[in-house]
């Protein structure tokens, strides 16, 4: 007796190919097999099966149809054209079809994070090299460059970090809405990409003008007055770096766009080329051409334009950069979500600015030591931001498909990795910080102050890692409102502490305040995750998708 296998409800069902006309035996067998599955809602696509040999067979068909109509719509049953005995059951839709296996999500997160870690490390490491070269000129030059770097980073990142964060989520959502097929061989038009680029160019030119015209007031606000020995080199450095503001804003926005594409390799290539050029030019301009801090600034500007041009050229091969018409741009969406992130970013930058200002009031040696500690701290802690950005892209994609199991998997996995990474960084820094500090300055007074900061730099790494990761998780769920308001509260508390503590504790009070800042950020992120009525409700529910 011949038989074949039919796939019903995801299971192989043996069906006889002989004696099919004898009292409907074949239909009866399939009926009994189908009856073992859990009943679900009726679907109009599953009607009575077709047969024309006898009335008893028609009755058997009707019974079988009723059974099959109770199968889950995503059970995986397929059409069998060879015998035409069972019509196709409903196709798999939405979450069930696109739902990747947990192992696939973990693997994708790792593959996205590895190049992203390299990309996140390149800029801080280049700034470390720049700080080391300038530090050899003297403590005055190092302190003046530190203040100018803080001003430049504050102004340039104020609007650009919202662009980077929002663009990552919006691009990932656009691709998910199109079934992740937007990046084929044909160049596509994505309004989220065009909007980000238009905003980045406009903001970049605005920042360049603001930094150029208000350089002196900014320096006075940071505690560097015209009579200070740091004022002239600091203003010279800031004016030159202002020329690179448009390229810097655009390049960071482009990094957010590529993250939304789940492409973290392309930015690494571009950043590697541009920053390698900067490292090559630093000693040439600073020492060989005797340009001092001005040479360092010029090298950075050349590097920034190189990175921006390379990324624009590569992006142009994938998508159409300019929109067909102005009305297709998503200014409203960007301004709404970006407004929240702007408030959050402003709170972060104000807190960091308060820390730098309080350190500058301790004198040139304290300011130089603070700059060394901050550069090392940011260089290593920003590595975990690569995990956060990768998780953000995956979570935004899963959430747009209503794949909340996928969001759970990514969230749990990335938090575990963050704990391990933070502890590893703390151990490495604790053992090697003295040697690292010697690369930036040979001044014994500066190094004496730097050694006091080892506890701040090393011990806070596990906390800092979780704080960065929680930011990425909230952005992936488009929970920009909570990210903004919680950061404003945390920043206000930490800034108030530093304003009062530095009078009695000196530079140590500044570092304690920054440690408090990261700790409160981590607690705020954890509290939101435990909030059963917020956007993370599914973390406390067995539901896999919204009704």
Cα–Cα distances (Å) from 140 to 143, 238, 364, 547, in that order, read 5, 15, 6, 63
Please tell me whether residues 211 and 83 are part of one structural domain.
no
pLDDT over 50 at 56, yes or no: no
Choose one of 36, 61, 92: the last residue of a domain: 92
In a domain? residue 152: yes
Six-digit token string for 202: 């406009």
Cβ burial of 332 (10 Å; 0-12, 13-18, 19+) is exposed
Q: What is the DSSP letter of 328?
A: G
Alpha carbon distance 465, 266 (integer Å): 24
pLDDT over 70 at 71, yes or no: no
> 38-42, 159-163, 414-418, 535-539: lowest mean pLDDT where?
38-42
Phi and psi for 54 in degrees, rounded to 5?
-160, 165
Q: Give a yes or no: residue 264 inside a domain.
A: yes
Q: Is residue 484 part of a domain?
A: yes
pTM over 0.85: no
Q: What is the 3-class SS of 452-506, one letter each residue?
A: HCHHHHHHCHHHHHHHHHHHHHHHHCCCHHHHHHHHHHHHHHHHHHHHHHHHHHC
Indicate if 65 and 197 belong to the same structural domain. no
Given a cut of 90, whether residue 428 has pLDDT beyond it is: no
Residues 78 and 113 in one domain: no
Q: What are the structure tokens assigned to 244, written together? A: 């690179």
Q: Per-residue confidence at 378, pLDDT binned at 50, 70, 90?
A: confident
Helix (H, G, I), strand (E, B) or coil at 535: coil
Q: Average pLDDT for residues 502-526, to the nearest whole number? A: 88
The residues, any chain, with a CB within 8 Å of residue 439's CB and separated by 6 or more, are 132
Is residue 147 in a domain? yes
Do 447 and 523 fall into the same domain?
A: yes
DSSP letters of 24-83? THHHHHHHHHHTTSPP----TT--PPP--S-HHHHHHHHHHHHHHHTS-TTS-----TTT
Residues 346 and 388 in one domain: yes
Q: Which of 351, 279, 346, 340 is nearest to 511 (CA)?
A: 351
Q: Any idea what DSSP says for residue 284? A: I
Tracing tokens 């980073």 back to the chain, one arrives at: 153
The reply to whether 547 falls in a domain is no
Cα torsion angle, 425, 431, 435, 437, sign: positive
Domain boundary among 50, 68, 92: 92
212 and 116 assigned to the same domain: yes
Query: What is the rounded CA–CA span in Å between residue 463 and residue 192?
Result: 33
Number of domains in the chain: 2
For the stretch 227-274, pLDDT in tens is 999 999 999 999 999 999 999 999 999 999 998 898 999 999 999 999
Closest CA to 259 of 192, 163, 171: 171
Cα–Cα distance measured from residue 404 to residue 169, given in angstroms and rounded to the nearest whole number: 16
- Structural domain containing residue 379: 97-540
Q: Do residues 149 and 191 both lie within one domain? A: yes
Domain boundary among 76, 92, 108: 92
Tokens for 354, please give them: 């308060």
- For residue 258, which phi and psi values (nearest 5 degrees)? -65, -35
Tokens, residue 502: 């530095």
What tokens were used for 13? 């069902």
d(CA 375, CA 383): 13
Of these ranges, 33-37, 164-168, 506-510, 524-528, the one predicted with the greatest mean pLDDT is 524-528
At 1-21, the pLDDT tens digits run 444 444 444 444 444 444 444
What is the chain's percent helix, strand, coil content, to nearest 5?
Answer: 70, 5, 25
Is there a single domain that holds both residue 403 and residue 528?
yes
Residues 315 and 345 in one domain: yes
Domain for residue 360, yes or no?
A: yes
Say if residues 294 and 239 touch (Cβ distance below 8 Å).
Answer: no
Residue-level pLDDT at 545: 42
For 340-366, what is the mean pLDDT?
85
Cα torsion for 185, 187, 192, 195, to the nearest 10°? 150
Q: Has residue 546 been placed in a domain?
A: no
End-to-end CA distance of the chain: 47
Q: Are residues 302 and 252 in the same domain?
A: yes
At 102, the pLDDT band (50, 70, 90 cuts) reads low
Burial of 98 (0-12, 13-18, 19+ CB in 10 A): middle
Confidence category of residue 47, pLDDT binned at 50, 70, 90 = very low
Q: Are residues 74 and 113 in the same domain?
A: no
| Assigned token pair, 47 | 């009607």
CB 143 within 8 A of CB 409: no
- Please give the radius of gyration of the chain, using alpha carbons only, rounded to the nearest integer: 30
Say which residue, 433 or 199, is predicted with more confidence. Answer: 199
Whether residues 23 and 39 share a domain: the answer is yes
Of 357, 360, 352, 342, the residue nearest 377 (C-alpha): 352
- The mean pLDDT value for 359-380 works out to 82
């Amino acid at each position: 007796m011949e038989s074949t296998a039919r796939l019903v409800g995801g299971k192989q069902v043996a069906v006889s190919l002989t004696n099919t006309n004898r009292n409907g035996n074949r239909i009866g067998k399939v009926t009994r097999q189908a009856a073992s599955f859990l009943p679900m809602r009726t679907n109009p696509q599953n009607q009575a099966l077709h047969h024309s040999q006898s009335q008893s067979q028609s009755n058997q068909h009707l019974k079988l149809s009723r059974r099959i109509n109770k199968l889950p719509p995503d059970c995986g049953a397929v059409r069998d054209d060879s015998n035409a005995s069972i019509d196709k059951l409903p196709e798999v839709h939405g979450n069930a079809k696109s739902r990747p296996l947990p192992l696939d999500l973990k693997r994708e997160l790792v593959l996205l994070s590895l190049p992203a870690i390299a990309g996140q490390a390149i800029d801080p490491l280049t700034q470390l090299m720049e700080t080391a070269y300038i530090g050899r000129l003297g403590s005055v030059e190092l302190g003046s460059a530190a203040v100018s770097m803080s001003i430049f980073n504050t102004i340039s990142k104020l609007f650009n970090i919202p662009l980077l964060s929002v663009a990552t989520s919006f691009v990932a959502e656009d691709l998910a809405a199109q079934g992740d097929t937007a990046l084929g061989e044909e160049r596509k038009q994505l309004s989220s990409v065009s909007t980000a680029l238009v905003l980045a160019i406009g903001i970049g030119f605005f920042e360049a003008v603001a930094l150029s015209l208000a350089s002196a007031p900014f320096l006075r606000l940071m505690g560097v007055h015209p009579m200070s020995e740091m004022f002239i080199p600091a203003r010279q450095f800031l004016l030159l770096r202002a020329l690179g503001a448009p390229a810097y804003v655009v390049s960071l926005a482009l990094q957010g766009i590529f993250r939304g594409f789940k492409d973290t390799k392309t930015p690494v290539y571009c950043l590697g080329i541009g920053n390698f050029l900067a490292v090559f030019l630093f000693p040439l301009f600073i020492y060989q051409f005797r340009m001092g801090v001005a040479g360092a600034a010029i090298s950075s500007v050349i590097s920034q334009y190189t990175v921006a041009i390379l990324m624009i050229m590569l992006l142009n091969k994938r998508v159409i950069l300019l929109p067909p018409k102005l009305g297709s741009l998503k200014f409203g969406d960007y301004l709404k979500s970006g407004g929240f992130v702007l408030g959050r970013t402003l709170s972060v930058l104000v807190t960091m600015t308060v820390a730098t200002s309080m350190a500058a009031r301790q004198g040139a040696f304290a300011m130089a030591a603070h700059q060394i500690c901050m550069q090392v701290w940011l260089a290593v802690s920003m590595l975990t931001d690569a995990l956060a950005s990768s998780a953000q892209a995956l979570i935004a994609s899963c959430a747009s498909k209503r794949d909340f199991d996928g969001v759970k998997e990514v969230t749990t996995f990335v938090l575990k990795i963050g704990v391990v990474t933070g502890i590893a960084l703390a151990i490495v820094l604790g053992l090697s910080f003295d040697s690292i500090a010697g690369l930036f300055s040979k001044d014994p007074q500066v190094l004496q102050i730097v050694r006091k900061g080892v506890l701040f730099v090393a011990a806070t790494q596990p906390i800092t890692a979780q704080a960065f990761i929680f930011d990425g998780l909230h952005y992936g769920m488009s929970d920009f409102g909570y990210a903004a308001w919680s950061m404003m509260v945390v920043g206000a508390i930490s800034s108030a502490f530093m304003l009062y503590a530095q009078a009695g504790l000196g530079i140590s009070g500044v570092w304690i305040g920054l440690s408090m800042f990261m700790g409160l950020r981590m607690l705020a992120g954890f509290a939101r995750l435990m909030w059963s009525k917020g956007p993370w409700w599914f973390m406390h529910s067995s539901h896999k998708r919204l009704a």
